[in-house]
Amino acid sequence: MLARLAGVLFGPQEREQDAAWRRAEDLLRDSLTGDQFEQYRDRGYVEVRSRLDPERSYRVDGWRPVAVYERGNFIGAVCIRPKEHIPGPDILLARKLMIEGAEREFLRCGNWLQPAWRPVGVAPTLFLILALISPWLLSLRTFGAVWVALAAVLLSTPLLFAWWRRRGAG
């Protein structure tokens, strides 16, 4: 199992995935306005105004469910993902275009997550954090095994601390 994980992290597919990511970011840059691309670079998402409801907006990125806001308040999220693995910027662009061109279909097809969808407890929260930072972890492999190992140690430290505290309390 460790050999398989090492193959995924350090395999020859790395260059292909990096090239795909660069092409996706180039397409995203060409498809967004200058302000939108700057927002993507600064905040990691693009704000898309609803065409159906003037008080609704969507925060779209390629990693998390699409956050839905009405009058500036978070009301939930819509989870819609491609069946195949594609780079995050391609996902962001597809979601943005679907909201702008077929918002009703976007809302109908996506899984609606109410504001209380966030998991409770340590294990689900850690899983969610791992899912959100996995693109970052995969990008570390370009720096070599030392950086991946360092990231693993840093990420496991809170887990070990929580386990140690719980063990001491029992």
> Per-residue pLDDT tens for 46-57?
999 999 999 999
User: Rounded CA gap, 114 and 40, in Å?
Assistant: 25
Beta bridge partners of 59: 47, 67
Walk across the sheet containing 73-79 and list its strands.
Answer: 46-49, 56-60, 66-70, 73-79, 111-113
pLDDT tens across 71-127, in order? Answer: 999 999 999 988 888 899 999 999 999 999 999 999 999 998 887 655 445 555 666
Going from N- to C-terminal start, the domains of the chain cover: 1-118, 119-170
